[in-house]
Amino acid sequence: MTSTMMKQVNDFVHRFGHESFSDNRSVSVWFTDLDQQQTDMAQLSWLSTDEHAKAARLKNPLERQRYLAGRVFTRLILSEVTGIAPEKLEIIRNQCGKPCLSLPTVGRRLRSKRLLRFNVSHSENFLCIATALGCDVGIDIEVENPGLDILAISHTCLDQEDNERVQCSSLNERSLLFYQLWTRGEAFAKMLGHGVDSDHVHRTSAPPWSLRSLELTLEEKQIVGSLAIATPTTTSASHF
């Protein structure tokens, strides 16, 4: 990657965390504020015909700008990790809609034959990407909404056990707990590559996994998220 490209990445990217494991797996999480990005015509030319077509269907100018900025950001990060030029990256989706890379060549930064997996999540003007070498990964973030009726929505968004935890929680801890449980389920489903309501999510044969909780404040907004990592042994939740 050129020095100019590196500067473009560093100008608007928060690299929230990186973790390496003894079995050669490694995971990184990257954040950006989509409203702060200034995408140019050269960057937009990296996008596929399908991506441009989807952007054209978005009638809201802000949603369209955020979508395009998110697609550019995704390619910048994946280019940084793989060493492949952004316009050369082919992003495809599996049968359940999970994005993955179809690499035209082996990236110079991909040591051995470990496959790169990644997952994307966005909430309001924030977008994050989890990149992983050697394992599947899923990520979900949500900007806390102070006006949300937590007790009411918990019944529809969470399973019985998690809903009971929220219903019994104190007022001070209720919002954070709800978003932690909500994003945990979403991240796990995305790690598996299935929808959150899929039967696959609830099967006992699900692969071992570990959980990282994400909490940060950007521009006076509280962001809560979860990162699910496929792992040889199941571990308890921790902060990234």
pLDDT value at residue 235: 39
Domain boundary among 133, 160, 182: 133
Q: Which of 114, 133, 152 is the last residue of a domain?
A: 133
Domain boundary among 83, 117, 133: 133
CA-angle at 229, arms to 16 and 10, nearest 5°: 25
For residue 17, the cross-strand partners are 29
Would you write out the chain's pLDDT as a tens digit for each of its 240 residues?
333 333 344 444 555 566 666 666 788 999 899 998 888 899 999 999 999 999 999 999 999 999 999 999 999 999 988 888 999 888 888 777 788 887 554 445 554 445 788 999 999 999 999 998 888 899 999 999 999 999 999 988 899 999 999 999 999 999 999 999 999 999 999 998 865 554 444 444 556 788 888 888 887 889 999 999 987 544 334 444
Beta-carbon contacts of 209 under 8 Å, excluding residues fewer than 6 positions away, are 188, 191, 228, 229, 230, 231, 234
What tokens were used for 164?
Answer: 């009971």
Distance CA 167, CA 155 (A): 9
Q: What is the pTM of this model?
A: 0.81
Task: Write down the pLDDT at residue 116.
Answer: 84
Q: Give the pLDDT confidence score for residue 228 in this predicted structure.
A: 92
140 and 85 within one domain: no
Residue-level pLDDT at 131: 92
Domain count, the chain: 2
For residue 121, give the CATH number of its domain. Answer: 3.90.470.20
CB-side exposure of 134: number of CA atoms within 13 Å? 15
Q: Is 111 in the same domain as 191?
A: no
**103 and 11 housed in the same domain:** yes
Q: Do 166 and 239 fall into the same domain? A: yes
Does residue 30 contact residue 15 with C-beta atoms inside 8 Å?
yes
Q: What is the pLDDT of residue 232?
A: 58
Q: Extract the tokens encoding 118.
A: 């990644």
Same domain, 166 and 219: yes
Residue 76 structural domain: 1-133
Per-residue pLDDT at 200: 44
